[in-house]
């Protein structure tokens, strides 16, 4: 079929072309605008053209090329000068300072293209921040909210929050994965019996950081509920769970990721926990307290 670069450039007056599909994920328009803003500082608008895949005069040929090249007309792919550099759910990361690559960008297809632009463009304009958590949510096995703390204005109303939670639950309650990209957000989750724990960050947030917060929350709740992590026990100790979340995260900033420290700060006394269920740190802390009080008597 020939080189994809020749195919794309053949009907567009020899301009470099960036092609978007109309069926991209919700922040496609954001990626488009960010790309336009960024590339405008590198090459002039006369040197490139942005258009929808469906509007391209050779759309069918391009889709046929994808079919021959990847075995699918819909597999996410990013092409630079006809070379496939990413596919599937891979995140394509390139040095955004490499002006030659940017100016040679000719063709992007499917969702990998959006992630490519978000990583290439947004990373250059996002300022460093300690606010890494957008939300912490606990749902029951019907997808109903038990606990929810939102730390930014991504979802400004309760209705928007609950619509997002419903969508999130529908996407995860039968899934075996521990992470999902949804509505431009990275969501890590864990379930037990009839509870679903979620920690949510931006699409660019480090998944390991989100997972560490999720594990801290789950392990702290596990200790507070005496390893009985289920809906009824959680509702009976809901005040302690909210306190634990406040100890973990404040205004999106991670404060603590040690479950034992979280439990102690929530004032769940180790004396009330059976010795077999206490951690070494809790046993040592209890011993220190007993020695301190014996010396003061």
Q: Judging by beta carbons within 10 Å of its beta carbon (0-12, 13-18, 19+), is residue 295 exposed, middle or buried?
A: exposed
**Tokens linked to 182:** 């949804």
Show Cβ contacts of residue 175 under 8 Å, excluding neighbours closer than 6 positions.
Answer: none
What's the chain's average pLDDT? 67
More confident site: 215 or 295? 215
Least confident of 65-74, 110-119, 131-140, 216-225: 110-119
Dump pLDDT digits (tens) for 88-118: 333 333 333 333 333 333 334 333 333 343 3
Confidence band of 39 (pLDDT split at 50, 70, 90): very low
* pLDDT of amino acid 198: 95
Dump pLDDT digits (tens) for 177-215: 788 888 878 899 998 888 999 999 988 888 889 999 999
Using DSSP bridges, classify how beta strands 185-192 and 195-202 pair: parallel, antiparallel or unpaired.
antiparallel
Q: Give percent above pLDDT 90 in the chain.
A: 23
Closest to 234 (Cα-Cα) out of 196, 285, 190: 196
DSSP 152-215: SSSS-SHHHHHHHHHHHHHHHTT---SEEEETTEEEEEEEETTEEEEEEEETTS-HHHHHHHHH
* pLDDT of amino acid 124: 39
Q: Rounded to an integer, what distance in angstroms lies between the CA atom of residue 63 and that of residue 82? A: 14
């Amino acid at each position: 079929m020939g080189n994809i670069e020749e195919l794309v450039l053949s009907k567009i007056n020899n301009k470099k072309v960036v092609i978007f599909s109309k069926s991209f994920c919700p922040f496609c328009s954001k990626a488009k605008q960010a790309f336009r803003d960024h590339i405008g500082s590198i090459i002039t608008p006369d040197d490139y053209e942005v258009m929808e895949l469906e509007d391209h005069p050779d759309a069918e040929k391009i889709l046929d090329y994808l079919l021959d090249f990847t075995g699918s007309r819909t597999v996410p792919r990013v092409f630079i000068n006809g070379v496939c550099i990413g596919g599937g759910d891979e995140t394509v990361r390139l040095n955004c300072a490499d002006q030659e690559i940017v100016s040679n960008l000719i063709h992007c297809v499917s969702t990998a293209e959006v992630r490519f632009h978000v990583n290439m463009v947004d990373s250059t304009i996002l300022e460093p921040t300690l606010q890494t958590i957008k939300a912490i949510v606990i749902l029951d096995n019907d997808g109903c909210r038990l606990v929810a703390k939102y730390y930014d204005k991504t979802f400004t109303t309760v209705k928007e929050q609950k619509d997002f939670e419903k969508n999130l639950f529908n996407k995860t309650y039968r899934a075996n994965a521990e992470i999902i990209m949804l509505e431009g957000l990275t969501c890590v989750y864990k379930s037990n019996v009839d509870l679903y724990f979620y920690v949510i960050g931006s699409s660019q947030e480090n998944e390991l950081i989100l997972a560490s917060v999720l594990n801290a929350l789950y392990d702290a709740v596990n200790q507070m509920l005496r390893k009985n992590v289920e809906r009824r026990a959680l509702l009976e100790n809901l005040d302690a769970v909210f306190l634990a979340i406040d100890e973990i995260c404040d205004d999106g900033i991670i404060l603590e990721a040690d479950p034992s420290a979280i439990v102690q700060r929530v004032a769940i006394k180790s004396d009330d926990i059976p010795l077999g269920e206490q951690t070494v740190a809790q046993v040592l802390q209890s011993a220190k307290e007993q020695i301190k009080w014996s010396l003061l008597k």
